[in-house]
Structure 1
Amino acid sequence: MLLASLREQVCAAAVRSYRSGLVRGTSGNWSARDPLTGLVAVTPSGLPYERMTPDDIVVVNLEGQVVEGGRRPSSELPMHLVIYRRRPDVGGIAHTHSPYATALAVLERELPPVLIEMALVGTRVPVAPFATPGTPEVGEAAVAALAEAKACLLARHGVVAVGRTVEEATVTAALVEEMAHIYHLAAQLGTPEPIPAEVMEALVRKYGGQ
């Protein structure tokens, strides 16, 4: 099986995210890029996560042509490919519809730095402008927002996170949801005040590479 290890990593990240509630049904998608060949392993379209195995992960090239796999790649493949083409440092992508972060995305409201853990993502989680799902324009909007952080909210859509590996991207996506949840709870009790910009910038310099 071509890119066997990478396909196992993508499958594991997707299934684990489903089990932890970052996605429901067949929503969301994951991918990883092989640094040697440039080929991309991506989750298939419309397959329930409880049935997904590494054999179901599709291998494509950067033009989106299927190289190996018997299933259709994710409908959001164009977004993944735009990010990979524009960001050679990215080796993995996680796209989730986690509820608290997506609620902010529906409001087109960024996630401010109210927790020190934000430094692992950036100084904030910005919002990418709305683009029609399944189009390269989603990727273009995400790339611009991801210049500021390791994750962004896709307006009225969900979350996209990037990393050196698909595991790293998935951990970041989970952290964004956790911070969004805490932000929501704090907002019920009062008005969460963001950490000052100069403090966040120092924290990002110290912890942002982790």
Structure 2
Amino acid sequence: MKFIDSEFVKKMCEITNELYKHGWDERNGGNVSLRLTQEEVNRFNDLNDPIRNIPIKFDASALAGQYFLVTGTGRYFKNVHNYPERDTGLVRITDKGNSVDLLWGFSDGGQPTSEFPAHLMTHISRQKIDSDQRIVMHCHPTNLVALSFTHKLDEASVSRLLWKMQAESLVVFPEGMGIIPYMTPGTNEIGQATADKMNEFRIVMWPHHGIFACGDSMDETYGLIETVEKACMIYTAIQSQGGNILQSITDDDLRDLAKSFGVTPNPRFLSTETVNS
């Protein structure tokens, strides 16, 4: 079987197209990486010797030997489903960790996204917490970015706001949302700050820019971002209607919701004490 026909490439094409259609990955914005196991890679008969070696500006030796299907730098998500072998690539982290071997893709001489070091840092953090987590996704959800301009950038405040915008929010991301200060994208500094937050959260806001998220599958990670953005959309709609909230989901409602769905809200953002609120 050829790798281009794999479920991994097909899912990458589907998700990048959905991200583009939502307006979350304009032009060449956004990037996705998917970790594959050795057993999964062994299924394909066109993955043998490396095509070429690509240096990376990060010591990824902690991930030596691991495989990642990743979107390319400067690539438009609207094109990935038509040109997956050009706009994505399957790479293996070398033993030294300062480069990757290209096994498939980037057929026009391309290379992984400029945010690849940030992805790898997050993969390192999340694998220590849950070895099943294999997706890192970055995009620019419109209403979330807008919220970062108008709301206090406090994790507890933002998380509680999003939890109270819809019942699904607490169930989908009970740990809440991490937030880093505004930082220059494409740097190891923003990657490390994000990875540090990923020790506690699966989703991190990059103020005035976008979001970083991780999960077990493409669908789960996409759904996590989708749920956060829907909550932000509801808040935007409330503000456009005058912002006068007459009734809302209370803290006690959130506790009942958590109990019903068997999730544990972040204790720093929602106490376990039942009160009228």
| Structure 2 partner of 1:135 | 187
In the alignment, is the contact (CA less than 8 A) between 1:11 and 1:43 conserved in 2?
no
Q: Would you say 1:57 and 2:92 are equivalent positions?
A: no
Q: 1:203 aligns with which of 249, 253, 258?
A: 258
Alignment of 1:89-108 (within 5 A): 89=130, 90-106=133-149
After superposition, residues 3-152 of structure 1 pair within 5 angstroms as: 4-36=6-38, 38-52=66-80, 53-55=83-85, 56-62=87-93, 63=97, 64-68=99-103, 69-70=105-106, 71-88=110-127, 89=130, 90-106=133-149, 109=153, 110-111=158-159, 112=161, 113-114=163-164, 115-118=166-169, 119-152=171-204
TM-score by length of 2: 0.65
Using CA pairs under 8 Å that are at least 6 residues apart, name the structure with larger relative contact order, 1 or 2: 1
Give the gaps of 5 or more residues in structure 2. Answer: 39-64, 265-277
Return the letter of the residue paired with 2:142. P
For the residues of structure 1 that align with 2:256 and 2:179, how far apart are their CA atoms?
A: 19
CA distance in structure 2 between the aligned counterparts of 1:131 and 1:67, rounded to whole angstroms: 30
Deviates further, 170-179 or 140-149: 140-149
Match of 1:163 in 2: 215
The Cα of 1:29 is off from its aligned counterpart by 1.0
How far the C-alpha of 1:33 sits from its partner, in A, is 0.6
Residue 65 of structure 1 aligns to a residue whose secondary structure is strand
Does 1:190 pair with 2:244?
yes
| SS of match in other structure, 1:178 | helix
Please say which of residues 94-103 and 149-158 is displaced more in the overlay.
Answer: 149-158
- 1:43-86 deviation line (CA, Å, top 9, x unaligned): 11222223223313112234452423322211111111101112
Whichever of the two has the greater Rg, that structure is: 2
Secondary structure of 1:181's match?
A: helix
Residue 147 to residue 186, structure 1, CA distance change in 2 (3 Å): farther
How far off is 1:32 after superposition?
0.7
Root-mean-square deviation (CA, aligned residues, Å) is 2.8
Change (3 A) 1:11 1:193: same
1:176 to 208, 217, 228: 228
Stretches of structure 1 lacking an aligned partner (at least 5 in a row): none
Q: 2 CA distance for matches of 1:66 and 1:208?
A: 40
Contact 1:58 / 1:66 at 8 angstroms: preserved in 2? no
Identity of aligned residues (%): 22
Scaled by the length of structure 1, the TM-score of the pair is: 0.84
Instruction: Assess if the C-alpha contact under 8 Å between 1:128 and 1:142 holds in 2.
Output: yes
